[in-house]
Amino acid sequence: MRYSTEHKLQTREKLIASSGALAKRGGFASTGVADLMKAIGLTGGAFYNHFPCKDDLFSEIVRRELSNSPLARLAARGAERQRLARCLEQYLSLAHLHNAEEGCPLPPLAVEIARADQTVRQEAEHWLVVLHAAWSETLDDPELAWALISQCVGAVVVGRMLASETVQSELLQASRSLVAKVLA
C-alpha cells in the first residue's frame, strides 16, 4: 500500500520530533533506528523512506532544535540586555535543569554533536554563529557573547552531572549572579 505525500510528511515530522526528544533524554548515538521508529509506531525498515542514514536525521534534529530553542528565538527578536538577562535567568533555573527533553538542546547533545560527522557539526555551528551574532549585537561585545553562551550551556551541563539539588541550586545561583553582573 502506497501512502500519500501528506502522510509521509506527517510521519517524517513525528520521527524528527520524537527522535529529538529521545536524543535529549537519553542520547542519540545510543538509540538505534529500530527504537527511533518504534517510538512512533513503525518498524525500523520504514526509517529509510525518510532519511538515507541516521546522521541525516541527527543533522535535521540539530537544525530543528537549535533554530527553535528559546535562546534562538530571543536572538531572532533582537533582544535588549534586560530581556537577555531575564531569559538567561530562566535558562539557569532548576526547572530547565531538570527538563532536558523540553529544554535547550545544547547541554544534552553537545558531546554527541562534537562526535558527529562534519554535516551535523556544520549545522550546529551555523546556529551557534547566528546566536552569537545576535548576542554580540545586544552586548556590543563578540567575546562576551561567546563567553556567556559557554557559561550558560556549561552551567547546565555541570548542573545535570550533580547528584543533589542543593549543590545544583548553588551552581545555578552562582551562574545567575555572574550573568547579572556581566549584563548590568
Counting as low any pLDDT under 50, the low residues of the chain are: none
Regarding whether 170 and 131 lie in a shared domain, the answer is yes
One domain, residues 73 and 95: yes
Domain that holds residue 138: 64-183
Number of domains in the chain: 2
Asked whether residue 59 is assigned to any structural domain, the reply reads no
CATH number at residue 46: 1.10.10.60
DSSP state string for 55-118: HHHHHHHHHHHHHTSHHHHHHHT---HHHHHHHHHHHTSHHHHT-TTTS-SHHHHHHHHHHS-H
Q: What is the pTM of this model?
A: 0.85
16 and 88 fall within a common domain: no
Q: Is residue 34 a contact partner of residue 117, using CB atoms and an 8 Å limit?
A: no
Is 90 inside a domain boundary? yes
> 70 and 121 share a domain?
yes
107 plus 169 within the same structural domain: yes
Look at residue 58 and tell me if it is in a domain. Answer: no
User: Same structural domain for residues 137 and 82?
Assistant: yes
> Which tens digits make up the pLDDT trace of 32-56?
888 888 888 877 788 888 888 888 9
Are the CB atoms for 95 and 168 separated by under 8 Å?
A: no
